[in-house]
Amino acid sequence: MSQVNPSERRPRWAAFIIAAGLAVLAAVILRDAAGLKQDGGYAGVGPADVPRLIAYGLLVLAVLTAVAGLKGNLPHPPRQAPAPVLWIMGGLVGQLALLHVAGFMISGAILFGMTARGFGQKPLWRNLLVGFALAFVIYGVFDRLLKLNLPGGPLEMLIFRG
Amino acid sequence: MESFSLLMQGLSTAMDPVILLYALIGVTLGTAVGVLPGIGPALTVALLLPVTYGLDPAGSLIMFAGIYYGGMYGGSTTSILLNTPGESASIVTAIEGNQMARQGRGGPALATAAIGSFVAGLIATLLLAFLAPQVVKLALTLGPREYFALMVLAFVTVSATFGDSALRGLTSLFIGLALACVGIDGLTGAARLTYGVPQLMDGIETTTLAVALFAIGEALAVAALMDPPDGMHRVKGSVKMTREDWRRSWKAWLRGTFIGFPIGSMPAGGADVASFLSYAAERKLTKHPEEFGHGAIEGVAGPEAANNAAAAGTLVPLLTLGLPTTATAAIMLAGFQQFGLQPGPLLFVMNAELVWGLIASLLIANVMLVVLNLPLIGLWIKLLSIPRPWLYGGILLFATLGTIGVNPSPVELGMLILFGVMGYGMRLYGYPVAPVVVGLILGPMAEQQLRRALAIAQGDWWTLVSTPVSATLLGISALFLVVPILMRLRGRGAVLSQVAGDAD
């Protein structure tokens, strides 16, 4: 995608999606504000009013974004490789799913390993080992020394005795 | 003279061995994150917030300030040697600094950056010490409407004035403001946008949002990029500067300092803007215009001094008014709040020892930094040889560690991933992420001041412009909003987009 591109002036679908997202966010805020008790007190401005103002602001921005989209006025992202994004997302979701089952060290190793794989480092098993070593040190320092409460699993029980 | 004796007392606090250790950890970490691409000072402070929960407040805050200063020092290293700025305030340094490195003059470039940072940090910290009590006196005369006007000004400068699109900047800001509505309303106790989820009652955690946007969003964006990064230029020869280098540097350092400090201390965009303006000034004033673009030493000395002076400058509104003007300052504000401290004029009365200890520590941190950055520069360059995949793997592991440590619930981690994806999308389409963080932190404060001002005036909206101070501030805000839009319409937006910065 170079700078001089005939598609530059064509409508940009991404801008319409962003505009729609902003409008939905505004609608959610307005719906919530409608359900709030209005007690403005002396100010005449209650808990629902500022969110309303922000929602109106979002609506205006949504319209302007859509107009900018019609004019093709949105930067073109550089070409994206989908695989790395999927690897990293997989690592994050994997950690979220396994955290309370397998404990911090195993889920942390998975996050580290899959992220490194996403950045092109192979093989995966070595990444996982490095990740495990790092997670082990972090658990030792932060959970044991600094008393941060990290979720433990079977391995933490085994190594640090709970 | 009052400042002087208070500063001396502060020094005695700061010389405490434990406090010295915190400062040393802070500046070391700060230099490291400044050197490493992909993590900036804002992210590091955000990552450390949960970790320091149980530690000493004074020590932790001193550590955070050390990270901020250190980040400004370390950022120059990557700019000069790799042509990839470690953080946004060093973008300008890359222009001349990298050219110098290509000609084998990387050593003097690193030296003028480090010494310039030291000179600027020293002068600016002293200015902070002498200016802060004056601003505190002024701050005591301000009411809710003036505070509200100040916050509006901060909103505008952070989102709409710089960067390449006011529309996208304002959109980012409003997303932050919308997220700020989540949670219990501070004045009436009404629960907004919580949908009965207990984790949402406290509002969206600043650290979760900041870590997600800065770390996860950035990692995804970098990983998906297909271009290979630039190679590194080894430092050849010594870091010693010649007599000629000194002669050309010292004026640039001083000019950079006196450009950077005022810019930093006003809600006017922070260190990125300061370094850019300093570069422009040096290019205008130089006696060697032919060297600019091909490795002029002034072009490294000035901006590096300016970004350090600006970092000290941002502490003026942060400490005296409780007003953060950059993303890092916003997260440091969250750090104060974590320890139950509210920056502002009262902080200087109620926690005088802490404030002056903090300011004095900055002087000491500055000395530590020049030692860390000149003789030990080789060590920091080694840091750049960590393979990128492992570096980012480690960043993400630490990013989730903060959230897991405070609140290991699937809801919180889910939000982290969600905001991370949002940050990735924002990067793709040129939306700045810093306004989101500033909006989240400053939003509720602005709302409270607005409602207080209206309550005092019995609901009369004209009260907002009824004093000269608030009217002027709102007028300046309007100018900062409209003038850049007109400049962009007339095709002069390039200047503004160059000043755009994010991570700091």
Q: Is residue A75 part of a domain?
A: no
B488 against B413, higher pLDDT: B413
Inter-chain CB proximity A29 and B181 less than 8 Å: yes
- A43 neighbourhood in chain B, CB within 8 Å: 451-452, 454-455, 459
pLDDT of residue B385: 79
Residue B184, beta-bridge partner list: B191
Pairwise CA distance, residues A143 & B368, whole Å? 30
Q: Using the predicted structure, report yes or no on whether residue A112 has a pLDDT greater than 80.
A: yes
A123: closest chain B residue by CA: B389
pLDDT tens readout for residues B126-174: 999 999 989 998 888 889 999 999 999 989 988 887 777 889 999 999 9
Residues B112 and B377 sit within 8 Å (Cβ to Cβ) = no
Q: Is residue A44 part of a domain?
A: yes
Q: Using the predicted structure, report yes or no on whether residue A1 has a pLDDT greater than 60.
A: no
Q: Using the predicted structure, report yes or no on whether residue B407 has a pLDDT greater than 80.
A: no
Inter-chain CB proximity B455 and A42 less than 8 Å: yes
- B226 neighbourhood in chain A, CB within 8 Å: 78-81
- B188 neighbourhood in chain A, CB within 8 Å: 39, 46-47
pLDDT tens readout for residues A2-54: 344 444 557 788 899 999 999 999 999 999 988 887 766 666 778 888 999 99
Q: Using the predicted structure, report yes or no on whether residue B355 has a pLDDT greater than 60.
A: yes
Q: Is residue A76 part of a domain?
A: no
pLDDT of residue A156: 81
pLDDT of residue B173: 95
Q: Is residue A26 part of a domain?
A: yes
B183-184 and B191-192 beta bridge pairing: antiparallel
Inter-chain CB proximity A92 and B398 less than 8 Å: no
Mean pLDDT (whole number) for B94-109: 84
Q: Do A100 and A136 fall within a single domain?
A: yes
pLDDT of residue B177: 95
Nearest to B223 among A78, A118, A134 (CB): A118
Q: What percent of chain A has pLDDT over 70?
A: 89
How big is the CA angle at B87 (ends B83 and B91), to the nearest 5 degrees?
50
Nearest to A150 among B404, B456, B458 (CB): B404
Q: Is residue A65 part of a domain?
A: yes
Pairwise CA distance, residues B115 & B246, whole Å? 10
B393: closest chain A residue by CA: A112
Record the pTM.
0.88
Rounded to the nearest angstrom, the gap between the alpha carbon of residue A79 and the centroid of all alpha carbons in its chain is: 21
pLDDT of residue B256: 92
Residue B412: pLDDT band (50, 70, 90) is confident
Q: Is residue A1 part of a domain?
A: no
Question: A44, A70, A96 — which closes off a domain?
Answer: A70
pLDDT of residue B295: 83
pLDDT of residue B258: 92
pLDDT of residue B87: 64
Best residue in B63, B151, B218, B396 to probe A by mutation, most A CBs within 10 Å? B396
Residue B233: pLDDT band (50, 70, 90) is low
Q: Using the predicted structure, report yes or no on whether residue B47 has a pLDDT greater than 50.
A: yes
Q: Using the predicted structure, report yes or no on whether residue B96 has a pLDDT greater than 90.
A: no
A114 against A13, higher pLDDT: A114
pLDDT of residue B503: 40
Least confident of B67-71, B81-85, B389-393: B81-85
Nearest to A142 among B219, B405, B408 (CB): B405
Q: How far is B430 from chain A (nearest CA, A)?
A: 6
Nearest to B171 among A22, A28, A78 (CB): A22
Mean pLDDT (whole number) for B347-355: 88
Q: Is residue A110 part of a domain?
A: yes
pLDDT of residue B86: 60
Please report, as a single letter, which amino acid is at residue B294: H
pLDDT of residue B496: 65
Q: Do A22 and A59 fall within a single domain?
A: yes
Inter-chain CB proximity A78 and B392 less than 8 Å: no
Nearest to A61 among B167, B216, B417 (CB): B167
Q: Is residue A123 part of a domain?
A: yes
Helix H or strand E segment including B377: helix B377-383
Inter-chain CB proximity A112 and B224 less than 8 Å: no
| Residue numbers of the domain that contains A44 | 6-70
Mean pLDDT (whole number) for B223-245: 70
A61: closest chain B residue by CA: B171
Helix H or strand E segment including B405: helix B388-406
Number of domains chain A contains: 2
pLDDT of residue B1: 57
Question: A27, A49, A70 — which closes off a domain?
Answer: A70
B53: closest chain A residue by CA: A148
Q: Do A146 and A91 fall within a single domain?
A: yes
- B214 secondary structure, DSSP code: I
Average pLDDT in chain B: 85
B202 against A162, higher pLDDT: B202
Residue B183, beta-bridge partner list: B192
Instruction: Give the 3-state secondary structure of residue B191.
Output: strand
Instruction: Give the 3-state secondary structure of residue B183.
Output: strand
Residue boundaries of the structural domains of chain B: 2-499
Residues B370 and B481 sit within 8 Å (Cβ to Cβ) = no
pLDDT of residue B230: 58
Q: How far is A150 from chain B (nearest CA, A)?
A: 6
Q: Do A90 and A23 fall within a single domain?
A: no
Q: Using the predicted structure, report yes or no on whether residue B499 has a pLDDT greater than 60.
A: no
pLDDT of residue B504: 43
How many CB atoms sit inside 10 A of residue B202's CB?
Answer: 12
Q: What are phi and psi of B15, to 5 degrees?
A: -80, -5
Read off the tokens for B202.
């406290």
Placement of tokens 């979220």 in the chain: A96
Q: Using the predicted structure, report yes or no on whether residue A90 has a pLDDT greater than 90.
A: yes
